[in-house]
Amino acid sequence: MVLDRDGVLNTRQSFRTGPEAIDALPGAGPALARLRAAGAAVTVLSSQSCVGYGYVTPEAVHETMDRLQQLLRLQLPAAADRPAAAPRLDGLAAGLEAAWGQADLVTFSVGTGSEDSACAPGLADDSDAKPGDVLVRLAREVMCVPSTVGGFMVGDRLSDLATAAAAGLTPVLVLTGAGHDSLARLRAGEGCVRESACVVVPSVVEAADRIVEAMGE
């Protein structure tokens, strides 16, 4: 289970800033909690070329990710009202109090794709960025999820849908963030994924509902 960050989990962009400029999308924390309680191993995958361009440091990206995880946890109900956790494919407990409602793994790329735009040597390489599936394969390896196990990728951009296709995941397009524009472009024939191959939902809340339902089939 892979999710993009900006426009999917948070409502305010923080591409060139830090943790003070991020805010969780309403319902995102409970949506992640529901996915994890159903047994999904959840990864947040984000393109952070802002590091390569020199706008922020890698440390600032980590601090921003940590702040988002905190905001997601703050959306959750009291522990007594949380659902029981299902067994996990990776063998980890899904209901650990310290991690409930947040992602299991956060990973991001930093390359700009051009030596001319990179602020330092080595920061031009974007071979691990979307729409490639390098970080999805890494997430599978880290969380011991076999490549034969299917899954979903939730995003608001065509690059997210392309990443899902490259990784053999079902693409889920949310209409938050850039989702409406992406849907219009999809219907205009842009991108490498057809609309008929995607699940289109209003937000990550409905995405979690659809995915949990599919996991139970």
In a 10 Å sphere around its CB, with 0-12 CB exposed, 13-18 middle and 19+ buried, how is residue 113 labelled? middle
- For residue 82, the model assigns a pLDDT of 53
- Nearest 5°: phi and psi at 189? 95, 5
- For residue 20, the model assigns a pLDDT of 86
- For residue 84, the model assigns a pLDDT of 54
* CATH number of 176's domain: 3.40.50.1000
- For residue 216, the model assigns a pLDDT of 85
pLDDT by residue for the chain (217 residues), tens only, comes to 999 999 999 986 666 778 888 999 999 999 999 999 999 999 999 999 999 999 999 999 999 999 999 999 999 986 545 555 555 444 444 444 445 688 999 999 999 999 999 999 899 999 999 999 999 999 999 999 988 888 999 999 999 999 999 999 999 999 999 999 999 999 999 999 999 999 999 999 999 999 999 998 6
What is the total count of domains within the chain? 1
**Which domain covers residue 63, as residue numbers?**
2-215
How far, rounded to the nearest angstrom, does the alpha carbon of residue 3 sit from its chain's CA centroid?
2
Peptide bond between residue 146 and the one before it cis (omega within 30 degrees of 0): no
Closest CA to 132 of 71, 85, 192, 209: 192
- For residue 78, the model assigns a pLDDT of 66
- For residue 12, the model assigns a pLDDT of 67
- pTM greater than 0.85: yes
